Chains A and B, each alone.
Chain A
Amino acid sequence: MTNEAIPNLTAFDEAALDHAFAALERQARAAAAALSGPEAVEAFRLEWLGRKQGRLNDVSSRWLKAAPPEAKKSLGQRFNALKAVVEGLLDAALGAGPSDAALAAEAIDITLPGTRRLTGAEHPITRTLNEIVAVFTALGYSIGVGPEVETDFYNFECMNFPPGHPARDTQDTLVVAGQARRAQRDRLLLRTHTSPVQMRTMEQQPPPVRIVIPGKVHRNDAQDATHSPIFHQVEGLCVDTNITFSDLKGTLDHAMKALFGSSVKTRFFPSFFPFTEPSADVQISCIFCGGKGCRKCKHSGWIELLGCGMVDPAVFAFAAEKQPAYDPKKISGFAFGMGVERIAMMKYGISEIGQFYAGDMRFLGQFV
């Protein structure tokens, strides 16, 4: 700092005081403007406000003492004003922090990539399954689950696939070893669909029932781009008095709109499943072309998505063995089921079903 020492004051009239204080204020402002860095600010504080060597202390001890009594008041006022200015400058300097020049020295390359922690991804099957289940829980469905190893009774017989029935041929089954000597209905197998949980649920509770059943199922199928011996289904069951085919249509139409967007249309075709009657296949208008026809929908404008139907009275008869309230003359119900892989493949543009089960980090990482 190059401020000169405080001069001795020789005149104490107003004009002389004005002149002397104005000079000091100029010096203070000039010094403050040049401050850079916290050390300089501290030096400025000591220079001007230091208790022993501070310049204001100097002014006070020399000018005030030397002033004639009639000028003391006027000088005191000017002194206080100057002190306020200096304190203000100091506050401003402290608040402003380091100068831009000082900060420039700390520059870094902000274009280098950020340090990222990995976020794990939800499996696309889990994700799709949860989306489907959420649509139905919002409609009042509870979630039901059941074992992956089932008896022949629950997987087939009570679902109205009698022993030896040709409909069993449509579901090639993986069986547990060593079953040949057991009664047919007790034989253990890998469930081929989530439908056994329908019966397990009805055996546990009288109507009304509304459940949605997500789960893993297995079939003795060769693996190709769209088929896998392991896959997932979401099944639904609604039983009450006065449940109708039009309720089934309305429920699934709502669900498909909730899953694929409100502009999606549904249409129903007669089909055959042993455990429902009437049975239907449901198509939705192609979500890729909006129904105009494209490669994805084989130019039909429609995509087949799920199977459904009214619960067959024969199924209720099995349930009524444990819960007599399942009297098909008094209650009715519908059931539906859909393949999760197929929906996930469609939603996320996946072309190989095998990718779901390979645990490839590069594939899974896309679903974060």
Chain B
Amino acid sequence: MKILTKWLRAYLPELSVDDLRLAEDLTLRGIAVEGIFDLGPGNGSLYEMDITTNRVDAMNHYGIAREVAAIYGVALQPFDLALPAHKPAAAVFPVRIEAEDACGRFTARVLRGITITDSRDWFTQAEVDTYFKLLEQKKISSAVDATNFVWLAMGQPTHAFDLDKIEGGIVVRRARKGEKLKTLDGIERTLDPEDLVVADHAKPLALAGVMGGWDSMITPATKSVLVEAAWFEPMAVRRTARRHGLHTDASHRFERGADFNAAPVASALVSRILLAAGGSIEGDLVDVRVPALEARTAARKPIALALSEVQRILGATTDADGITDATVEGVLAALGCMLAPAATNAWSVTLPSWRLDIEREIDLIEEVARVYGYNRFANTLPAFGGGVTALPFAQSESALRETLRSAGFHEAIASTFCSASDAALTAPQPGLVVPLGNPLSEEAGVLRPSLIPGMLTMVAGNLHRDVSDVRLFELGTVFSGTAEKVDERPALAFAAAGLLAEQSPLHPSRSIDFHDLKGVVEQLLTRFQTRTLYFDRFAPEAGLTPAWLHPFRSARIVADGTTVGWFGQLHPREAAARKLKDTILLCELYLDRLYRLPLRKPAAREISRFQPVRRDFSLVLDQSVPWEQIDAALAALSLPEIVDWRVREVFRDAKLGARDYSLLLGVTFQAGDRTLRDEELQSYQAQVIDAVGKAGARLRS
């Protein structure tokens, strides 16, 4: 909003501070001046202002002048409302408010013998020319300029009708079903029975408080004018404006609450301007009011205010005196309140008609703080005796983040939304994808059911920018549900592509593979206390493997009998669809399930002082025998002296034949209480050979 200091000063003849200081003092009191532009000698400054939505009264020159008067305690010039005496009318112009819930006041003034012309200067100091020029506001015609001038001066919307187009008189009512109205923007609108209209006895003339009608607008041929200045109820105007997709200066003001008492003032100002080119007033001002709405606005009941309450909410000030009764009285009176003493340091406060945002004691307290100056309050810290509670999963969450970071993964944050097709691909429950009613774009049409779509987008973004080594993870929320209820679950996804991180000019690197990612999965899961942990996969026809995963290079993660996630290589079909040539490895963990497991609590055990003995077994196995069987067979031995076993190497050799593969098994034997004797070792080795033999392995000769 643009404000001229030259115009402000016209209402504040006693004001002596300069424009810079004025801007600063206004800003510190919540009437924010965002920019100051010098308009040259004698023209003052242009303020670019940002007024908060609650202070609609201050969105005009007079409203800001009123604030200035309160800040500096200077006099505010009243408007000059003097009008030529009216000629008697044969009958009072008929005005009726039918919609008494939506129109609180309607004033009408009849002007006859009007000449519609270029607007001319009707005030002594040529305000319209000067102000409009400085504001770069175009002059259109005397009627339009008059209403614009009053709008800029005092923020009251007014409307001028061509009186000869009005049949009978004015009725403010709800539209009838099917009624049509061509508004000033030239659009023919079909009205809704909820729309509030200003009508004559035959037809609607205007969308009340929103926009005038085409047929009754002022034209160069207009001779008689009806000046409307009214008060419309905020919600009625808001609904009408919204229904028709309109947002006008008038609707903006009425939606936020206009000044009930401004209508006669605005009517007089508009009339003065129109009459400057000749013409006369017919009859007295017609002023119809709805008492119920007047009681809610201009004639509101006084509010009780106590100094003790002001002090309880606001606290200490840097001045030793603090907020006193004199402070309260001074501030509120300057803002247009009337204070009647109710008790010691308590008042009954009558509110100004233009401040509908003030309704309660707390609103008055805010005004006191605002005008007194926020920065004159002390900085104190409240005492606190309570305890601090941690979030239940905070530790689990930081364990995951820490582990992934130490494994070289950067944390990322992706979009909360994805496309319906990506959702269909990745949703654990495809029937429960939640679409948005007003999505940002088609690609962001639904709430993400999985973190995989976002992860794929980010990985692809890197690869397409030739960043080929990617390690990313995201901890975020995934969504499922219906229009009635949406469930949110925490999830973790991570992805890897490119070469192993350990790159050196001295050693060759290699591409990261399934088992590298599996290692990260295992690292993450060992942070939690599990009784059983295994990985499995399903035949593609079972339909259990997520569609985004390669059916033979992926695995389900099962901890304590619960599926906690999936990982593996991106399905080549999806990779091709996204033009990704590199192998991409992905994992998604369902954290709501993982978090049911407690974090592993480290416990130390005695470390044996006795020599461990390592023995390697070179085994030959059928292709159909996975490591898991050998592993399970050794675990089943339950020999405490077998302290460790692992695969040292897997290799395939043509000499073995196509069906077999070879595996080097390393086993470590150790006792906690003695050095193992040769006979014991022989026996354990025999048991190992026997166990792996039953599992399908034979010793390589």
8 Å CB contacts to A: which residues of B463-508? 465, 467, 469-474, 476-477, 479, 483-484, 486, 488, 501-507
Given contacts A140-B388, A170-B53, A220-B440, contact A177 B483 (CB under 8 A): yes
Q: Please pick, from B386, B391, B407, B415, the residue contacting A143 in the complex, using a CB distance under 8 A.
A: B391
Contact present for A271 and B52 (CB under 8 Å):
yes
A221 closest partner in B (C-beta): B440
Q: Verify A361–B380 contact, CB threshold 8 A.
A: no
Chain A positions 178 through 205: 1 when the CB is less than 8 Å from some CB of chain B, otherwise 0: 1100100000101000000000000000
- Contact yes or no, B389 A120, CB < 8 A: no
Report if A50 contacts B (CB, 8 A). Answer: no
B30's contact among A249, A253, A271, by CB below 8 Å, is which?
A: A271
* A147: chain B residues within 8 A (beta carbon): 486, 488
Q: State whether the Cβ of B83 lies closer than 8 Å to any Cβ in chain A.
A: no
Chain B: minimal CB distance from A146 (Å): 10
Distance (whole angstroms) from the CB of B82 to the closest CB of chain A = 36
- Contact residues in B for A114 (Cβ distance below 8 Å): 504
Residues of B within 8 A of A188 (CB): 483, 486
Q: Which residues of chain B have C-beta atoms less than 8 A from A244's C-beta?
A: 312-316, 380, 382
A249 to B379, CA, bound (A): 5
* Distance from A7 Cβ to chain B, minimum over Cβ atoms (Å): 50
- How far does the Cβ of B198 sit from chain A's closest Cβ, in whole Å? 22
Report the separation of the CA atoms of residues A117 and B316 in the bound assembly, to the nearest whole angstrom.
Answer: 55
A240 and B483 contact, CB distance less than 8 A: no
Instruction: Determine the residue in chain B with the shortest Cβ distance to A181.
Output: B483
The answer to whether B27 and A269 touch across the interface, beta carbons within 8 angstroms, is yes
Residues of B408-447 at the interface with A, using a CB-CB cut-off of 8 Å, are: 408-416, 434-440, 447
How many whole Å from A245's CB to the nearest CB in chain B? 5
- Binary contact readout A264-291 vs B (1 if CB under 8 angstroms, 0 otherwise): 0001111110000111100000000000
Q: Which of A120, A145, A357, A367 contacts B406 (CB 8 A)?
A: A120
In the bound assembly, the distance between CA atoms of A164 and B235 in angstroms comes to 7
| CB-based contact B436/A176 at 8 Å | yes
Chain A residues whose CB sits within 8 angstroms of the CB of B461 once the complex forms? 358-360
A250 within 8 A of B: yes
Q: For residue A218, which residues in chain B have a CB less than 8 angstroms away from its CB?
A: 416
In the docked arrangement, what's the CA distance between A175 and B380, Å?
41
Is A313 among interface residues, defined by CB-CB distance under 8 A?
Answer: yes
Measured CB to CB, the nearest residue on chain A to B403 is A120
Q: Does A139 contact B (CB under 8 A)?
A: yes
Complex interface bits, A105-145 against B, C-beta within 8 A gives 1, otherwise 0: 00000001111111111110110000000000101111101
Chain B residues lying within 8 Å of A140, measured Cβ to Cβ, are 384, 386, 388
Q: Which residue of A lies closest to B475 (CB)?
A: A126
Cβ-defined contact, A280 with B374, below 8 A: yes
B235, B312, B394: which has the most chain A beta carbons within 10 Å?
B312
Q: Knowing A208-B386, A278-B365, A332-B313 touch, does A175 contact B436 (C-beta < 8 A)?
A: yes
Interface flags for B33-70 (1: CB within 8 Å of A; 0: not) read: 00000000000000000001111000000000000000
Output the nearest chain A residue to B27 by Cβ-Cβ distance. Answer: A269
| Minimum Cβ distance to chain B for residue A4 (Å) | 48
| In-complex Cβ contact of B374 among A166, A190, A270, A365 (8 A) | A270
A127 to chain B, nearest CB (A): 9
B window 198-218: CB within 8 A of A: none
A149 to B384, CA, bound (A): 32
A250 to B375, CA, bound (A): 11
Minimal beta-carbon separation of B235 from chain A (angstroms): 5
Interface flag for A364 (CB, 8 Å): yes
A177 touches B416 (CB 8 A): no
Contacts known (A120-B410, A244-B314, A249-B379); A113 close to B504, Cβ less than 8 A: yes
Q: How far is the CA of A269 from the CA of B375 in the complex (A)?
A: 8
B-facing mask of A236-270, CB < 8 A → 1, else 0? 00101011111101110110000000000001111
The residues of B that contact A367 with a CB separation of less than 8 Å are 410
Which residue of chain A lies nearest to B31 when distances are taken between CB atoms in the complex?
Answer: A270
A147 CB to nearest B CB, Å: 5
The 0/1 profile, CB within 8 Å of A marked 1, for residues 371-410 of chain B is 0001101111110111011110010000001001111111
Most central of A125, A139, A359, A368 by chain B CB within 10 Å:
A359
Best-buried of A149, A230, A332 by chain B (most CB within 10 Å) = A149
Residue B652 is within 8 A (CB to CB) of chain A in the complex: no
The residues of A that contact B362 with a CB separation of less than 8 Å are 277, 310, 312-313
Inter-chain contacts of A361 with B (CB < 8 A) = 410, 462, 467, 469-472
Taking the complex as formed, is A229 at the interface, i.e. its CB lies under 8 A from any CB of chain B? yes
At the interface, yes or no: A174 with Cβ under 8 Å from chain B? yes
Give B122 Cβ to nearest chain A Cβ, in Å. Answer: 34
Task: Kindly state the separation between the CA atoms of A218 and B479 in the bound complex, as whole angstroms.
Answer: 15
Q: Is A362 an interface residue (CB 8 A)?
A: yes
B377: chain A residues at CB < 8 Å are 245-246, 249, 268
Cα distance, A103 to B113, chains bound together (Å): 115
Partner of A310, one of B313, B390, B486: B313
Q: Are A356 and B388 in contact (CB under 8 A)?
A: no
**A356 nearest CB neighbor, chain B only:** B413
User: Among A182, A208, A359, which residue has its beta carbon within 8 angstroms of that of B459?
Assistant: A359
Closest to B255 in A: A166
B381/A112 in contact, CB under 8 A: no
State whether A166 touches B378 (Cβ < 8 A).
Answer: no
Known: A140-B388, A164-B235, A177-B435. A272 touches B369 (CB 8 A): no
Q: Which residues of A contact B363 (CB under 8 A)?
A: 277
Interface status of B317 (Cβ within 8 A of chain A): yes
Report which of B380, B415, B477, B506 forms a contact with A112, defined as CB distance below 8 A. B506
A210 within 8 A of B: yes
Besides A140-B388, A364-B412, 14 more A-B contacts (Cβ < 8 Å) are A116-B501, A119-B406, A120-B406, A123-B411, A166-B53, A177-B483, A179-B437, A216-B476, A230-B415, A240-B384, A249-B379, A272-B54, A278-B369, A359-B459
- Could you list 16 A-B pairs, sorted by A, with CB under 8 Å? A112-B505, A119-B406, A120-B405, A147-B486, A164-B238, A174-B438, A178-B437, A208-B386, A240-B384, A242-B382, A244-B380, A249-B374, A278-B365, A332-B313, A359-B454, A364-B410
Question: 3 smallest A-B Cβ distances: which pairs?
Answer: A244-B315, A270-B30, A359-B458
